[in-house]
Amino acid sequence: MQEVRSIFGLLWQLHANGLVHGDPRPPNVILYEERPLWIDLVEVQEASPHLREIDVEILTRSILSISRTVLLDPALKQLIDNYAKSATQEDMNLLAEEVYQCLVISN
């Protein structure tokens, strides 16, 4: 759970600073002096609710290995929508917990 919460928290920090990554997948995180950092910031932009939604959906799909052509579970989609509108750390944590639960169920 800690790894999932950590990467979602890392994305929240970026969003809290008014930016979106554009391609926030686990391969675009490195550890530098035991601290996770985003790399591959070529698509970084100023954040908006729509772009935050895209960011968290990309991260969710990447962690769960769900293609963009497959519909997300309605509960996940609702959590993504809620986060996109509010961008609170609490909403991001709820999404991270749901993603983790999906991982546990699928394994």
Give 25-71 pLDDT, tens digit per residue: 999 999 999 999 999 999 999 999 999 999 999 999 999 999 999 99
Q: What is the C-alpha R_g of the chain?
A: 13
Structural domains in the chain (count): 1
Query: Does pTM surpass 0.85?
Result: yes
Q: How does pLDDT run across 68-86, given as a tens digit for each residue? A: 999 999 999 999 999 999 9
Q: Which has the closest alpha carbon to 28: 43, 13, 15?
A: 43
Whole-angstrom distance, CA of residue 72 vs CA of residue 33: 35
**The domain that contains 82 carries what CATH number?**
1.10.510
| Per-residue tokens: 12 | 């929240």
Which residues make Cβ contacts (< 8 Å) with residue 12, sequence separation at least 6?
87, 89, 92
Domain of residue 90, residue span: 2-106
User: Quick check: 106 pLDDT over 80?
Assistant: no
Q: What was the pLDDT predicted at 20?
A: 98
